[in-house]
């Protein structure tokens, strides 16, 4: 590894069972009027989490307004609408309460609450305007209720432009959360299928950041730890959502993977999934990653096997007697077993209305919209290579 890197991870993270209560006493809230962003599903209300958060904020001297339209694959129209609500109500910080889509949206809303124009003016890929925001985002507080995206520990936010089928990641130093609360108790209510989707997302973040050409010592350490924890505990949490140990270990694995995304980065596996769910927003992000993963990592491993031994070991596999070329196959087999153990083995691209003849359209989109991730993938890839991976995944 070439030891040449920048280490910057400024988010304050309060981690542990029952830690949501500290929202009512912490001195680290960044303002006095919050826009609380939640999803449109109503889960935060049904579980009582929204009322708890609003009450704890009030007890800490903070007024709040709620914006509740965020979709599982969030869209720029809601970012701009939420930003308008924040401006109208003179909010001085934004709280994201929920899963990755909600917290991502909170980050983007915080950016647009203090910057002019359209959100897409600032995107750096596809049809984005490539402008640099003139103002720092409003401060962000992240309260995660899933163990999936790690967005509580990184600056990244992923939003879709629906009219052009573009799903782009964006972030700058000001979109790191000022404060994140990771309370595994809030994750007990996550249903089995969503536990599986979010867990495989965190797993893929860890693997991709380990393979990325910009990985560094700290991201490597945390990525391997997260892979080990997810391999051990994800199937337990899927089968028994109330298992405290499993929920806590998965919550930490997810946050660790988010730190990895701050210090390293995901690679083109995510570019390819973003294209899938941009054209087919009914595809949960974790499902898309799972359906592409075996074909993708097999293709990469055949061409650059060097780091796959460590990935296999992190999954509890013995590869010492195998050649370097054989070791990626052991990792892929272990991943296939993990996908089966968490109940996702039967998911197919065709189940979501995706056709095999879309492969080139998806491949071209992935390069055009999220091409930057191809640049840090350990194998140089072409559009034709991406087409091959899509077709292998479809098969």
- Domain with 218, as residue range(s), is 193-394
Q: Average pLDDT for residues 317-335, to the nearest whole number?
A: 98
Q: Answer yes or no: do 221 and 365 share one domain.
A: yes
Alpha-carbon gap, residue 61 to 55, rounded angstroms: 10
Span 329-376, pLDDT tens digits: 999 999 999 999 999 999 999 999 999 999 999 999 999 999 999 999
Residues in Cβ contact with 88 at an 8 Å cutoff, skipping those fewer than 6 apart:
none
| Residue 353, domain member (yes or no) | yes
Cβ-contact 36, 95 below 8 angstroms: yes
Kindly report the CATH number assigned to the domain that includes residue 211: 1.20.1090.10
Q: Answer yes or no: do 274 and 300 share one domain.
A: yes
pLDDT > 90: percent of the chain:
98
Q: Answer yes or no: do 183 and 197 share one domain.
A: no
Cβ-contact 365, 387 below 8 angstroms: no
Q: Answer yes or no: do 182 and 74 share one domain.
A: yes
Alpha-carbon gap, residue 63 to 58, rounded angstroms: 6
pTM, two decimals, is 0.97
Cβ-contact 160, 75 below 8 angstroms: yes
Cβ-contact 183, 232 below 8 angstroms: no
Span 27-86, pLDDT tens digits: 999 999 999 999 999 999 999 999 999 999 999 999 999 999 999 999 999 999 999 999
């Amino acid at each position: 590894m070439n030891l040449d890197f920048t280490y910057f991870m400024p988010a304050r993270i309060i981690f542990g069972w029952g830690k949501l209560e500290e929202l009512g006493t912490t001195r680290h809230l960044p303002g006095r009027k919050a826009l609380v962003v939640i999803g449109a599903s109503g889960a935060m209300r049904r579980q009582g989490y929204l009322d708890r958060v609003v009450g704890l904020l009030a007890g800490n001297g903070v007024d709040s307004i709620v914006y509740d339209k965020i979709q599982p694959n969030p869209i720029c129209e809601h970012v701009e609408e939420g930003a308008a609500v924040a401006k109208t109500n003179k909010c001085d910080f934004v709280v994201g309460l929920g899963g990755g889509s909600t917290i991502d949206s909170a980050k983007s809303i915080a950016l647009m609450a203090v910057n002019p124009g359209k959100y897409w003016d600032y995107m750096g890929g596809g049809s984005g305007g490539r402008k640099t925001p003139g103002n720092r985002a409003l401060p962000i507080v992240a309260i995660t209720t899933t163990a999936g995206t790690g967005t509580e520990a990184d600056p990244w936010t992923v939003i879709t432009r629906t009219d052009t089928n573009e799903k782009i990641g964006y972030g700058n130093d000001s979109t790191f959360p000022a404060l994140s609360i990771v309370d595994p108790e809030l994750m007990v209510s996550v249903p089995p299928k969503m536990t599986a989707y979010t867990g495989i997302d965190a797993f893929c973040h860890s693997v991709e950041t380990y393979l990325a050409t910009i990985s560094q010592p700290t991201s490597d350490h945390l990525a391997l730890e997260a892979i080990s924890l997810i391999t051990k505990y994800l199937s337990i949490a899927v089968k028994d959502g109330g298992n405290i140990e499993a929920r806590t270990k998965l919550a930490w694995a997810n946050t660790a993977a988010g730190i990895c995304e701050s210090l390293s980065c995901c690679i083109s596996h995510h570019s390819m999934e973003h294209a899938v769910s941009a054209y087919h927003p009914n595809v949960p992000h974790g499902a898309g990653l799972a359906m592409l993963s075996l074909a993708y990592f097999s293709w990469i491993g055949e061409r650059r096997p060097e780091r796959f031994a460590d990935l296999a070991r992190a999954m509890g596999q013995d590869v010492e007697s195998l050649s370097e070329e054989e070791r990626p196959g052991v990792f892929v087999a272990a991943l296939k077993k993990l996908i089966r153990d968490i109940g996702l083995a039967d998911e197919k691209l065709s189940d979501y209305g995706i056709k095999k003849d879309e492969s080139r359209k998806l491949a071209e989109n992935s390069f055009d919209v999220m091409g930057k991730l191809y640049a840090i993938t350990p194998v140089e890839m072409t559009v034709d290579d991406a087409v091959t991976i899509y077709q292998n995944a479809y098969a």
